[in-house]
Structure 1
């Protein structure tokens, strides 16, 4: 993602209950946080409900520790007829440090859905 001033979609601090057997934050925890963040951005674009249909790419770069300030950033990469592709990046600030460290990045694909959960077109003017 391009470097620029940006606001996170989600900012949170993992707790001891989010740890795996190695003492780091469980990978599933960060995946779920990224899914929530991507879904929030995709729903804005879709102007309504969306569902995750794929994680097209996912890379774990460094571990997340208990107490890290976790920030998830997203960028819309592609909008199709019913789908929205979002690039997500997870950054942390370790306790008592101000430096941002990239810990994960991934590409999530969402589909706009109607009230019955069926795919629906993304509103006109949103496609890229």
Structure 2
């Protein structure tokens, strides 16, 4: 059981990604390797950025990345995303990551948070303008 503050998954929101890490994803200390987590955060952020940009994006910056708690094999890890800033060709995405552990009495722990910047690119790989967001009627 974690001695750290337990929380809950963000109400009313759907995760961009949910995954369960496997033994091959562990480091020498038995926790999930930080590089694995960074890759999953980038995938979740890119999925959100692609929706905002309405097409292909590339990662151009990891602005902030904080590991708050370790992640273990068997945790169900949920990645929640939200656009923080939408520019002409770039979008900055916030990613919050929660682990659900102990299926018999579920505990939710915030394990990671990060912000990443993506640039929209065309078929030629060059930056392109992000179209205006469509609003619901």
Q: Distance in 1 between matches of 2:86 and 2:106?
A: 35
Q: Distance in 2 between matches of 1:64 and 1:45?
A: 29
TM-score, normalized by length of structure 2? 0.87
Structure 1 residue ranges, 4+ long, deviating more than 2 angstroms after superposition: none
Higher gyration radius (CA): 2
Contact 1:112–1:121 at 8 Å: present in 2 too?
yes
Out of 73, 78, 103, the residue aligned to residue 66 of structure 1 is 73
Out of 106, 111, 114, the residue aligned to residue 98 of structure 1 is 106
Out of 6, 22, 25, the residue aligned to residue 13 of structure 2 is 6
Contact 2:52–2:133 at 8 Å: present in 1 too?
no
Contact 1:69–1:95 at 8 Å: present in 2 too?
no
SS in 1 for 2:39: helix
SS in 2 for 1:8: coil
TM-score, normalized by length of structure 1? 0.93
Out of 122, 130, 133, the residue aligned to residue 122 of structure 1 is 130
Counterpart for residue 79 of structure 1: 86
Structure 2, unaligned stretches of length 5 or more? 1-9
SS in 1 for 2:83: strand
Structure 1, unaligned stretches of length 5 or more? none
Range with greater deviation from structure 2 (47-56 or 4-13)? 4-13
Are positions 1:36 and 2:43 aligned together? yes
Counterpart for residue 7 of structure 2: none
